[in-house]
Amino acid sequence: MASSENQRKEKSKVQTNMVMLTVVTSTIILTVNIVLFIYISRAIDVINKVYSTNVEIGELSESLNQVRGSMTEYLNTKSTDSMEQYFDATQQYRDYLSDLVLQGQGRDNTAILQDIQGLSDTYLSVAEETIQAKRGRVVEKYNAGYERSEKIYGYINAYIYSLNNEQFRQNSEKYAALRASLRSLAAVTMSVILAVALINILLTIVMTKNIMDPVRQKEIMMESHLKDAELKYLQAQVNPHFLYNTLNAGAQLAMLEDAEKTSGYLQNVAAFFRYKIKGEDKETTLEQEIALVDNYIHILNVRFSGEIHYEKELDERCLSVSVPGMILQPIVENAVNHGIRDIEREKKIILKVERLPELIRVRIEDNGVGLTEERLREIMSGNAGENPMMKDSNGVGIANVISRLRLFYDREDVMQMFSEGRDRGTIVDILIPVTE
């Protein structure tokens, strides 16, 4: 009886110590996560600002070139299309310049931005006068106007180049500081992980030093639980925003170090996460949706050594149509995960965009395992339940896509699915209504 009582007391003591160990470990992990969350949130804000201005300046320069090109084309051809292109390019350039000036208030580069704005106003005014002279066939006036506009264009380009260099220098300094900060974060994180692991080991040794054999199994299970907790701790550090912005910074660093393939891959991954973060409730264009699919396939082919053969047949006239966000990538992901991933033959995904009399049809076709007629009916009726066809890894299923398409276009007939049976592949058609 005494031995049994001692055994019960020993077990109770072990259980108490295990509970204390779990509480201490969980408290440490929770505290570290809170600190890391605050630090990562601040780092995200800094990352979002690094190099974004250089991109905006590049867009401004490209827009200025479009203004010049469309004006020159009009002076050479005097066509209505070139005139429309000129007006569109002019408005776009004004918008880019206005945004850049507003964002530049209070910066060291404000004076340069003001000079660019003043020269731009003059340039657009001279360009307008030159076009009017061309329309009125006043040869001397539009020749003189064109020469003057070219000089002002050169001045603006020089200022933009100077602004871009100065901004890049400032951003490089910020990036260097940020990189050092992220390295410090990695070192702190690793130190905390090692400290938690060391504490766990020490406490486990103390607890199990005199444990009886019948209780030893519980100790082993506890160690397993602690390892799972550490793994979840590591996984919890990565959130979509931090991952996207870190990848984007990595792409910039790879570009600076001439690692073109690595930079290209990181840019695809960063673009993919940026689009996913934007969310499915945002309106976008068919062209941007296809670009997301391109990024997704690129990422998969890097991961799976180019196994997926991806083909596109696109009608360029259809790419600017408005669509709800996240309607193509979930279907392509479903085709990969549940269609072609495990087949032994060539894995193929075909994306077609074609104009029909009253519709734009977007077809996603795979050569995978196919679907039965019963399964097709379940999916299209929304009664597929928890089947993987209805829930992808990113939580956006086919039923969700159908519902959003119906709400967006206010019509029922927005998607069709076809399959000739097992191992005959699957076709998904998205039907986009078009009004002239």
The per-residue pLDDT for 215 is 53
Q: Is residue 309's pLDDT more than 60?
A: yes
Size of the chain in residues: 436
Which residues are CB-neighbours of 388 under 8 A, at least 6 positions away? Answer: 337, 338
Domains and CATH numbers, the chain: 1-237 (1.20.1440.210), 239-278 (no CATH), 279-433 (3.30.565.10)
Residue 69, token pair as written in the block: 């090109």
- Summarised one tens digit per residue, pLDDT across range 198-252 is 877 776 776 666 555 555 665 665 565 445 544 443 444 444 544 555 566 566 6
Which of the pair, 189 or 84, is modelled with greater confidence? 84
Torsion of Cα atoms, 23 then 25 then 28 then 30, to 10°: -70
Mean pLDDT of the region 368-375: 89
The per-residue pLDDT for 320 is 93
Mean pLDDT of the chain: 77
Lowest mean pLDDT among 15-29, 213-227, 346-360, 376-390: 213-227
The per-residue pLDDT for 226 is 46
The helix (H) or strand (E) run that includes residue 324 is strand 322-324
The per-residue pLDDT for 106 is 46
Closest CA to 363 of 293, 431, 279: 431
Q: Is residue 431's pLDDT more than 60?
A: yes
Q: How far is CA 368 from the centre of its chain?
A: 27
